[in-house]
Structure 1
Amino acid sequence: MFCSFVFCCMSFGHLVVFADAVKIVSVMEGDSVTLESNVTQIQNDDLITWRFGHPETTIARIDKEKEIFNTSVVPDGRFRDRLKLDHHTGSLTITHTRNTDSGDYEVKTSSRETAYRFTVTVYGPLPVPVISRNTSQCSSSSSSCSLVCSSVLKVCDATLSWYAGISVLSSISVCDLSISLSLPLEVEYQDNNTYSCVLNNPFSNQTTHLDIHTLCYNCSGPLPVPVISRNTSQCSSSSSSCSLVCSSVLKVCDATLSWYAGISVLSSISVCDLSISLSLPLEVEYQDNNTYSCVLNNPFSNQTTHLDINTLCYNCSDAGSQNQIVLISAAAAVAGSLLTVTLVGILWICRKRGKTDQEETVRTSEDEITYADPIFYKRNVQKPEDEVVYASVVPRR
């Protein structure tokens, strides 16, 4: 199919490769592509037929003499309303291309014996490749990280590649829509190269950069925050120092636990035994003004806890006094509560008793009242007779 002479060109959003009698055409899904009939002007007696696939199916027909330009002859309606014929040249344009439009096309003209063939490939939009860690290959004793780059969607005519900087490390290109593309990579934990995974086709590419510190953590897992506690078994009122212990809550491997005073390392421990937890003791004076911290770290990350010496390192005798004060306070609180309850009880009893006496008095008073019928007496009042007194009148001279 492919001959020795090949000429490539890019035009109108699609790629055309000429290989003698076969033209390789690539187009992005959704774009339009035109297949040239190789005729400059249709003659009156020309009959032009466009066919597609295997077995060949007629998809368009031109009869210049009868003025027939038919694009609706596809039985399955695959190209319905998406085919256009040039009335002057007979060229065929496919609009809104789909993945199902990929395949072989052929055009035959009655005035010429030679048929022209095209192989069309429609490329869909590429998904962004995904980089993940192959945890099945994870081992605490391993010094390398197993990665896999894959295409989430199934694609054809695309290449998946691992790059270190601008150098290609490995590639894979398989046109099998029943499987997804995937490509493994092994990198060292201490590798400082820049890695990326690229999925590309002739029209576009998608790139994902590897964040080695996020994916390639030690197999023991993310580091927990160390915990600082006081060793109370070493607490004595006569002691002038405070016994502390820093420990890793989770069991880790390939990690170091250290005590720091400022930026100076005081002590460290690193044991790869998942049956035990890391722990590291420290003695500090009660009056020590240094800044202490406990750090759990591996080559990729670290977790730090700062010591609050005033909270953890109180004097043991002070603790006893504090305990006594707490007990006395608690006893006083209990006694106060009991006294309050007693007073409330007494008041309630007195109030109840007073109410009862009042009710008894009322009932007794009601019992002693005796009712009698009233007797009315009529009084005889004698009105005095009117008395008139006469006196002599002496005239005044």
Structure 2
Amino acid sequence: MNFNIISYADAGCELGGSNAVRGGFTQHFNSSAVRSHTAPLKKMFHKFVLFCLCCWGLTGVFGDLVSVMEGDSVTLNTDVEVCDGDDILWKYVAGKSPVGKMKKRKQIVSTFNDTDGRFRDRLKLDNQTGSLTITNITTEHAGVYQLEISGAKLTSKTFSVSVYVCLPVPVISSNSSQCSSSSSSSQQNCSLVCSVVNVGHVTLSWYKGNSLLSSISVSDLSISLSLPLEVEYQDKNRYSCVINNSFTNQTTHLDITGLCQTCSDSVSLIVLVYAATGSLLIVASVMIFCTCRKHRKTDKEVETCEVEITYAETTFYKRSAQKTKAEEESHVVYSPITIR
């Protein structure tokens, strides 16, 4: 387009420089310049309006963000002055039913268990401020809560409640039952794995000192995570495995000497175990042999004593019939017994 305008102006000059042509060209050029400068401003204005609308919409959807640990209590504050003629209604959006009502003037306060009874004996409604308290909260109570105050004016407020469970302690274990060695160096490496079970919305990470080595995140519920790591056996650095969410964290420090053993150490340990076992067997065999030999010797001695006992023969002599009884007793002869 600019090429055509310039050509038209040049043609007018050759015909004598018509003022009408020059004036038309000048006016058209000025309007084009204005439009070229205002176009970016209009785009910026449109973007600003769209951003404001998005912010306003998101505020209405998510409202106040509240985080709480499972098992604790949380209070959703109205943060407004409740008048005598006001009525307060609390709704749990996921359950699509009211969980609390209050009529300020009549001092009527009611709480509901929801259709599935998840809020049974857990809700408290302040009869002065209308604030809602959830006790012993669990993950099934997470979600969006909506407050409506009707009276002289209508007020609404939204709360987005996130419930975090107590994180388990990460478990570090050896990834293989055999030792391994690096092909590029004489240093021997140990393969480890850090694992956790039944977690959600967490990040599992390996740290070397304060430096992050690797990490893995998950947004699902009730899932198992594992993260491998390979270190050198002689490494003296401090390693730790950390599981965390936006609310809390748990840490386990690595004990390299307890989990990792070099191939030479493994062989030495096996040899030591076999040697100890062999020594015990030898000692037990010697003790059994000595005991059996002792019993055998005792039995032989008893048998020998019984065989060598010899009874001597006794010889009696015929006495005269005329001797008296007293004389007969005095002539009793005793024969000696010899034991060979």
> In the alignment, what sits opposite 2:18?
none
Matches within 5 A, 1:1-397: 20-21=59-60, 22-44=63-85, 46-111=86-151, 112-113=153-154, 115-135=156-176, 139=180, 143-151=188-196, 153-218=197-262, 222-224=266-268, 341-347=303-309, 350=311
1:129 Cα offset (Å)? 0.8
How far apart, in 1, do the equivalents of 2:77 and 2:219 lie? Answer: 27
Preserved contact between residue 159 and residue 171 of structure 1 (Cα < 8 Å): yes
What is the CA deviation profile of residues 237-296 of structure 1, one whole-angstrom value per residue up to 9, with x for unaligned ones?
xxxxxxxxxx9959xxxxxxxxxxxxxxxxxxxxxxxxxxxxxxxxxxxxxxxxxxxxxx
* Cα drift, residue 60 of structure 1: 0.8
Distance in 2 (CA, whole Å) between partners of 1:178 and 1:26 is: 19
Q: Secondary structure at the match of 2:236?
A: coil
CA distance in 1, matches of 2:300, 2:256: 67
* 8 Å Cα contact 1:161/1:168 also seen in 2: yes
Q: How much identity, in percent, do the aligned residues show?
A: 50
SS in 1 for 2:117: coil
**2-structure distance, mates of 1:133, 1:226:** 18
Q: More helix per residue: 1 or 2?
A: 2
Match in the other structure for 1:325 = none
Partner Cα separation in structure 2 for residue 50 and residue 344 of structure 1: 107
Aligned equivalents of 1:206 and 1:339: distance in 2?
A: 75
4+ long deviations beyond 6 Å = 336-340
Q: State the AA in 2 paired with 1:346.
A: E
Amino acid at match of 1:146: S
Deviation at 1:338, TM superposition (A): 6.3
1:331-386: CA deviation from partner (whole Å, max 9, x where unpaired): xx98x986864442132x639x99xx9xxxxxxxxxxxxxxxxxxxxxxxxxxxxx
CA contact (8 A) 1:140 1:220 kept: no
CA contact (8 A) 1:41 1:89 kept: yes
Report the count of equivalent residues. Answer: 235
- Cα distance change of structure 1 residues 176 and 221 upon mapping to structure 2, 3 Å threshold: farther
- 1:289-318 CA-to-partner distances (Å, cap 9, x unmatched) read xxxxxxxxxxxxxxxxxxxxxxxxxxxxxx
Amino acid at match of 1:157: H
Unaligned runs of 5+ in 2: 1-50, 53-57, 276-292, 316-340
Q: Quickly say closer, same or farther: Cα 1:182–1:115, change in 2 above 3 A.
A: farther
As a proportion of its length, which structure holds more strand? 1
After superposition, the Cα gap between the structure-2 partners of 1:53 and 1:345, relative to the gap in structure 1 and judged at 3 Å, is farther
Alignment CA distance shift 1:149-1:345 (3 Å)? same
SS of 1:224's partner is helix
Q: Which runs of 5+ in 1 are unaligned?
A: 5-18, 228-246, 251-329, 358-397
Instruction: Give, as a single letter, the amino acid of the residue that structure 2 aligns with 1:100.
Output: E
Report the Cα distance in structure 2 between the residues aligned to 1:72 and 1:55, rounded to whole angstroms: 11
1:386 aligns with none
- CA separation of 1:63/1:73 partners in 2, compared to 1, >3 Å: closer, same or farther? farther
What SS class does the counterpart of residue 184 from structure 1 fall into? Answer: strand
Question: What amino acid does structure 1 have at the position aligned with 2:240?
Answer: S
Distance change in 2, residues 1:226/1:55 (3 Å): closer
Does the CA-based 8 Å contact 1:40-1:88 persist in structure 2? no
**How far apart are residue 140 of structure 1 and its match?**
5.0
Q: Partners of 1:196 and 1:109 in 2: how far apart?
A: 50
Residue identity in the other structure for 2:136 = H
Q: How many Å separate the matches in 1 of 2:83 and 2:179? A: 68
Give how far 1:221 is off. Answer: 6.9
Report the TM-score, using the length of structure 1 for normalisation: 0.51
Cα 1:70–1:220 change in 2 (3 A) is: farther
8 Å Cα contact 2:190/2:260 also seen in 1: yes
Q: What is the root-mean-square deviation in Å for CA atoms of aligned residues?
A: 3.6
